[in-house]
Amino acid sequence: MKVRQISLICAMALTLAGSTLLPAFGMTANGPENGGNGESSYSEEYGGENHSGIGMEVSYGYDGNAKSDRYVPVNFTLKSQSDAPFNGTVRVEAMESDYDIYQYDYPISLEAMGSAEESLDVPVGRADILYVKLLDAQGTELIRKRLKMNVPTDVAELYVGVLSDEPDKLSYMEGVGVNYSAVKIRTFQLQTEQLPDHVIGLDLLDVLLITDYDTRKLSKDQIQAIMEWVKEGGTLLIGTGARADDTLYAFRSDLLNEDYAVPAEKSVDMGVEYATNGPGDSFMNLVCADISLKGGTGVLANDQFPVLTAAARGKGVVGVAAYDFVDIAPFCEVQRSYVDKLFTALLGDTRLNNLSSFLYSGNSGQFWSVQNMLNTGDVDKLPGLVFYSIVILSYIALVGPGTYLYLKRKDGRRYYRTAIVALSLLFTVLVYLMGVRTRFRDTFFTYATIFDNSEKFEDEYTYINMRTPYNRAYSILLDPSYSLLPITRSKSYERAPVPKFTGSEDYNVRISYEDDGTRVSVQNAAAFAPKYYALKKRTLNENRKGLWGDITLFKGNVYGTITNEYPFSVEKVGILMYGKMVVIDELKPGETQKLDGTPVINYPINNSFQVSARVTGSYQYLKADIEDPDYMLALSRTNILSFYLDRYSSFYNQEARIVAFGEDQKDSQFLTNSGYETYGVTMYTSTIDVKSRKNDETYRSALMKMPVTISGQYYSDSNAIYGVDPVSLEYSLGNDLSVEKLMFEYPAEEFLNNQSTNYTNIFKGKIYFYNHDTGNYDPMDSEKTEYTAGELSPYLSPGNTLTVKYVCEDTVENNWYVTLPMLMVLGRDK
């Protein structure tokens, strides 16, 4: 089969009769509880007499475990006992979150007495029941298999895939409750040979743990798939210890700043809470590696060094531990709460809470964000209301008193009825001709495309809304090089009863992977009913297209250059980094612009729409005007950039995120046939490293490591607090720096005066620093924004942490959600 979410897997020895299900990718879950409730999750049904001599066996998920709104691996084995070749279709049927029935058709061919083994990555909505059917060339159903999946319904589960030479020693992680037991860990052993080499094959995992394992065994495609999966929101956790060279080998150039010393044995304090007879009980002698992770900060620290360092990559996280997770097995088997401590420190409360809420709300959040991004349209399709009003008023005037008085004057009242009919026909034709430009005659598309360039690859993310003006079935052929994922909303919040899914229902959407393209067929849909899909494609960036440069951010100023390496001009170029932005109106092909002296704008990181509006220029429009093409273009650009920042980017990345827009838009690149109406917007993005050192000084954000909440409620992803109660936060300024200055930086005035400020409530109130000498909180001048090393001396702990208490003013409106200032640190290496 061609590439279309289908990958050929290694041969398995299966018998046709009485064969048991094989775990997907050779994965087995640790612990007997992974079998679910003990009931069979698989049953077989036949839709009729099977005289073809074909047998089929199916397995799915990870040991039959799956999650809603994810790609689920479905593996099947076909074996022919016939003397004739067989051509047919494997069909997978699923009920999506909106209760529509989706069918996925994959062509299959068998030689006489031959066999085939395939792995399909099927996008599944409710992920409760799947039907896998075998059809012959005439569409006759030969075999039907009903797959009942184990889907978490009461407690959210954190799916952790394990790559290790000794996976059994990591069984201590299985079943551990994380984040006050709101999330439960479920582990799956991965085998190198069956590890997916494409990103959607990893979609079912939340965390990939690699420890006590040689990553040289991984192919280049597998490594690229892992890093792309992380960028899209996955979490990669690597254990090092004595085998640091082995586990880090495949990711060394992407993750590490520099070479590290030979791992050596160190005394590691696992935490005073684990001491039983005395402080020494919590120490372990472990072989540790001192790793310097690009853009990394210690999220779990020992007295002398961080034992777990993490760095953001896109929307995902990479964590590197100083030790091997196999080595801490004896300790964790007794103190299993350390696993909770470890994963909470790595993932953070926000990610874990999102995982919990997803169990109840499903994937509706993505649906609404995609809908909002695609809710603009082509202004050329808007009717001229003034012109229509003139025509209608003219018709009323003529068909009423106008014609009557005219004929009366000409003594031709006997022709009145004929004249009225003629005028009606005339105006009918006129209105029809007026609507030619605004009328849809066939299926049409609204799209938003993001080209994300790196030096090696160009990743294209295209979101489409497919509609038809008629209440009848339609079919579209898409470029087969794209992977395809339907985006639907959950109906669970409507409390509507879930329809029974028997496998005999007629489809609403059928997706067929044919030789000449991916065919999407829709039926039983109302006219203009939206159908959203996410398309994705990766190609080699052979010409090194992108926006590249050399950037240094220091003391609130930006230095360096940026170059447009696209063969066309780009405009509205935004450079986003650490809550600061630089905006450039235009860059011509090959143009290099010097950044020294360019204005730097501080922006609120919890309002992606407001940030996007500043980049695209839509903030300059005081009110909406859908008849203004410039306004609609700026709004479309704002929507796609806001979506991108929310879904694919993190404000705490160590790179600069560069975004731009251009006129060179391929508005129908996802279609195999031309002639359809399309309207949309295209955005181009690149990432480059940002230097933070100058004259032996380092300038960086204190938020690169998530502050520890001492009291109150703090939202780390948006740097905001629940302002009704006082909030105390412990900031880590870094053990590696001698702090010279600390700066509190607020969003620029232009954001505060913007009409959308009602979404951003800036902190106003009293600030206190915790004094380690007196044990009290000292009030600070709320107007003061910079503190020197001398002023900070009594407030910095030996580990260079600073505890700050925020007390909002009573006069602050909507103080349930208050944005805090960004803390920036200036210092020298110790």
Residue with the two structure tokens 């990432």: 687
Residue with the two structure tokens 């791992």: 263
What phi-psi label fits residue 611: left (phi over 0), alpha (psi between -120 and 50 degrees) or beta? alpha
State the DSSP string of 108-175: EEE-TT-EEEEEEEEEESS-SEEEEEEEETT--EEEEEEEE-B---SSEEEEEEEE-S-GGGGGGGTT
* Cα 464 off chain centre by: 16
Residue with the two structure tokens 């397995």: 59
Query: Which residues, listed in sequence order, are joined to residue 180 by a DSSP beta bridge?
Result: none
Find out whether 465 and 530 touch, Cβ atoms under 8 Å: yes
Taking the chain (830 residues) in runs of 10, the rounded mean pLDDT of each run is 33 30 35 36 47 84 81 89 90 89 92 88 78 92 89 84 95 92 91 88 93 95 92 92 95 86 91 75 88 82 81 87 95 93 87 72 73 75 72 81 78 80 85 72 89 90 92 92 86 74 92 91 90 91 91 92 94 90 94 93 84 90 80 91 84 79 76 85 91 88 83 85 90 85 88 57 90 94 92 90 90 69 88
* Cα 205 off chain centre by: 14
The dihedral over CA atoms of 248, 184, 493, 36, expressed in degrees to the nearest 10, equals 110
From CA 327, how far away is CA 325, in angstroms rounded?
5
Query: Which residues, listed in sequence order, are joined to residue 251 by a DSSP beta bridge?
Result: none
β-bridge pairing 141-148 and 156-163: unpaired
Q: What are phi and psi of 128, to 5 degrees?
A: -110, -55
From CA 103, how far away is CA 122, in angstroms rounded?
10
From CA 67, how far away is CA 150, in angstroms rounded?
8
Provide the pLDDT for residue 43.
Answer: 46
From CA 340, how far away is CA 175, in angstroms rounded?
11
Residue with the two structure tokens 């952790």: 160
Other beta carbons within 10 angstroms of residue 781's beta carbon come to 9
Q: What is the DSSP letter of 181?
A: T
From CA 311, how far away is CA 321, in angstroms rounded?
12
State the DSSP string of 130-145: EEEEEEETT--EEEEE
Assigned token pair, 229: 């999966």
Provide the pLDDT for residue 126.
Answer: 67
Find out whether 241 and 286 touch, Cβ atoms under 8 Å: yes
Comparing CA positions, the residue from 172, 472, 494, 180 lying closest to residue 335 is 172
In 3-state terms, what secondary structure has residue 696? Answer: coil
